[in-house]
Amino acid sequence: MLKPLADRVVIKMLESEETTKSGIILAGNAQEKPQIAEVLEVGPGKLVDGKEEKMLIKKGDKVVVNKYAGTEIKYEGQNLIIVKQDDILAIAD
């Protein structure tokens, strides 16, 4: 299991098929290509004055992220990405 540090989050990009099923197709400009992903692991929060700041998202959330944000990692056969929470734009209910 990957335990992200601080305000980092482990996500898994959803396939276009899944994306379409939920009614969401993403198009981005050159700077930032958004995509939809599922949140697999959530860090404990960034340290602010020695306390962990509450995270805004939770495991299982479907979220909109910027495609080039974060770091790709292949883990137990899955293509995952570790991003900072600030690279997550919205939760897709």
Q: Which residues contact 87 (CB under 8 A, 6 or more apart)?
A: 65, 66, 69, 70
Q: Interface mask (CB under 8 A) for a copy of itself, residues 39-78, using x and -?
A: --x-x---xxxxx-xx-xx------x-x-x--xxxxxxx-
The C-alpha atoms of residue 49 and residue 31 are separated, in whole angstroms, by 33
The one-letter amino acid at 91: I
| Residues near a copy of itself (CB under 8 A) | 1-6, 8, 10, 23-29, 31-32, 34, 41, 43, 47-51, 53-54, 56-57, 64, 66, 68, 71-77, 79, 82, 85-86, 88-93
